[in-house]
Amino acid sequence: MRVLMLLPIALTINWATSLYGQGEALKLGQIPPLVTFDGKKEGGLVAGGEWSSSTLMGKVHTVFYVDPDEKKVNAHVEEALKKEKFPLDNYQSVAIVNMRATWMPKFIISGLLKKKQERFTQTVFIKDRGKKLVKEWSLPDNSYNVLLFDKQGRLLYSKATKFTDTDIAELIVLVRNNL
């Protein structure tokens, strides 16, 4: 009897794991598995075209993987990094929007992203239409993830909750130390 009661729970856990837990969790100090967006169905550059995580080399990169419903959670981190005015020949920010994590119509998000790309020309904006980074990198869904990669593409820092002032200071020090 207990087995029958637990079966639906086990099946749900197995389904969720197969749907969202396919990827290997990112580990500090390692280069994450290659992820590409085809520029079409999977998503890609807001300005148009494909994008690959292989571009996360050669510069220090801060990657923001954001659920549009959570966009304000760590907006203060974006502002703090912007104020630092890191040299653009050694630093790049990348904003990847988890388009499937929201109830908002996709055409509205796309329009807002185009305006943001025009305003923040130094940031690369990418649409993830299929929760690809949730699946491939095991990033938390429905959240605001901040990741930092060194010039070799290795993960230096990852946080998916609201940043404190101490967290921001730690992130800035890591960026400076790796430029």
Higher pLDDT, 149 or 2: 149
Per the prediction, the chain carries an average pLDDT of 85
**The two three-digit tokens of residue 36, written as one number:** 């590409």
CATH number at residue 16: 3.40.30.10
| Full domain range(s) for residue 38 | 2-178
| Band of pLDDT at residue 11, cut at 50, 70 and 90 | very low
Q: Is pLDDT above 60 for 124?
A: yes
- Centre a 10 Å sphere on the Cβ of residue 85 and count the other Cβ atoms it contains: 8
- How many structural domains compose the chain? 1
Model pLDDT for residues 44-102, shown as the tens digit of each residue = 898 889 999 999 999 999 999 998 888 889 989 999 999 999 999 999 999 999 987 87
DSSP secondary structure string, 25-53? PP-TTSPPPP-EE-SSSSEEETTSS-EEG
Cβ-proximal residues to 173 (8 Å cutoff; 6+ apart), any chain: none
* Residues 32 and 137: beta-carbon distance below 8 Å: yes
Higher pLDDT, 108 or 56: 56
